A and B are shown apart, each in its own frame.
Chain A
Amino acid sequence: MSSPAKATPPMIRLVGVHKRFGSQPVLKDINLEINRGEVVVVLGPSGAGKSTLCRTINRLEPIDAGRIEIDGVALPAEGRALARLRADVGIVFQQFNLFAHKTIVQNVALAPVLVRKLGKADARQAAMQLLARVGISDQADKYPAQLSGGQQQRAAIARALAMRPKVMLFDEPTSALDPEMVQEVLDVMTSLVQEGMTMLVVTHEMGFARRAADRVVFMSVGEIVEDSPPDQFFTAPRSDRAKDFLGKILTH
């Protein structure tokens, strides 16, 4: 029992993943492992394939070649098996994507009832607890459009957490927010990190990457160029592309 890492498979494993849009390659031979409880932040210039990488992990984007495993299980093709696996992988989108015709608490309680077969009252109670945790229980009976961006994104995080996921994916969760609302969303994410959630975060928030990440993965034109601890990445990047990227964002 000295090395539990060997006994348990990584939470996420990508092996030789390739993906192209038409003739344009967007992911080129991606190999990545994320262990239980690890927080990996993906950085890189726009068009690097960060979002695509994030979305391949629950097959919102199918891949052309390679293998993806979640908790040791290969990602199934379309159908019920895929739906079951997706239930264990939470994702938070840039545009929130809350269900526009449902109230906030309905948004959170919907999937636990339909997918996990939880009773309606239990699901609502659990949803209210989650909303309290992200600080918006007073918004429970409003519709998404009545909330601010920051509140909507926190509701979206609560909705993903309601499925008790094994891993959470964040696809630029603060990029569509007004600056004053970024922090409230990052605070919720930081509290998840402290609880030991396994997370893959695509973001441009360098402060969050420095503070919360175990590893920083730097991508450029469809490839993983660097994979290192944040201290090392921010102070002594090895590749020219990472140096160039950091030079552009850290000068102002």
Chain B
Amino acid sequence: MIELLVDNRDLFLTGFRNTILLFLLAGIGALVVGTLLAAMRVSPVPVLRLLGGGYVNIFRNTPLTLVFFFFAFAYPRLDLLDVSFFTRAVLALIVYTAAFVCEVVRSGINTVDVGQAEASRALGLTFTQTLTTIVVPQAIRSVVPPLTSVLNALLKNTTVAAGFAVAEAGQITPTLSERGASVLIGMVWIAIGFLILVIPLTATQRTLEKRWSVAR
């Protein structure tokens, strides 16, 4: 079993390196875009709320493969900036995952009692101070577990990029079968690889939850 890993280490190394890269870039992008979308959805401006809501409804209900199809086949015809398959895969993952991040962050903000923001404003704190010192620190706590699930799903969704010529971990098995190696054993190794990748995510969740958990 070990020989397969050693013999094809080039394959596993590029595969998982690309998976990690896709995950990190798409994860950061989705967190930023998703948080902005959430801010739009709770803002007092109706147009922004409408746009944010529309975005979430469209992309949360579209299969990821369809989003990938768009970036793989439709995007080049739009005559926009010509970018690599890898970049387009990252974009597809961001566009899709941001909708889920948005809803998680928004539900987190909604768990904070309005009285907290009222007391803060009544003391003379500005809108930004209220958001950053009172609302968000309390919202983040309830957001950590569901946000970890969203990022976990993102990690697994990176395998869809394999279908679009990005050599990430999902691309390993087809290449193994071309080389005549055992696909079954290859899959076991890939599963182990993903398990190892999930460990830091779960550990981070546990640390953050512990740090932010206080009696309330």
Contacts and interface: CB of A to CB of B under 8 A. Distances in A.
Interface residues of B, number: 22
Contacts, number: 69
B123 A97 contact: no
A84 B123 CA distance: 9
B118 A100 contact: no
Given A101-B214, A101-B216, A87 B124 contact: yes
A80 interface: yes
Interface string A31-49: 0000000000000000000
Contact of B124 (A101, A143, A156, A163): A163
Name the prevailing secondary structure of the B interface residues.
helix
Contacts of B123: 86-87, 110-111, 115, 159-160, 163
Contacts of B134: 99
Contacts of A83: 121, 124-126
A98 interface: yes
B157 to A, nearest CB: 33
Interface residues of A, number: 31
A159 B118 CA distance: 14
A143 B213 CA distance: 12
B104 to A, nearest CB: 19
Nearest to A111: B123
Interface string B115-138: 110111111111001000110011
A239 interface: no
B115 A114 contact: no
Contact of A60 (B113, B122, B125, B129): B122
A142 to B, nearest CB: 9
Interface string A73-108: 000000010011111111101010111110000000
A143 B121 contact: no
B216 A91 contact: no
A88 B115 CA distance: 19
B215 interface: yes
Nearest to B115: A97
A101 B113 CA distance: 12
Given A83-B124, A86-B121, A145-B216, A100 B138 contact: yes
A98 B216 CA distance: 11
A93 B215 CA distance: 21
A95 B118 CA distance: 11
B214 A84 contact: no
Contact of B125 (A85, A89, A98, A111): A111
A88 B141 CA distance: 32
A143 B118 contact: no
Interface in A142-195: 143-146, 156, 159-160, 163
Q: Which 5 A-B pairs have the closest CB atoms?
A: A87-B124, A97-B119, A97-B115, A111-B123, A115-B124
Given A86-B121, A163-B124, 13 more contacts: A83-B125, A84-B124, A85-B124, A86-B122, A95-B115, A97-B113, A100-B216, A101-B141, A101-B212, A114-B133, A143-B214, A143-B215, A145-B216
5 contacts: A58-B122, A97-B115, A101-B138, A101-B141, A146-B215
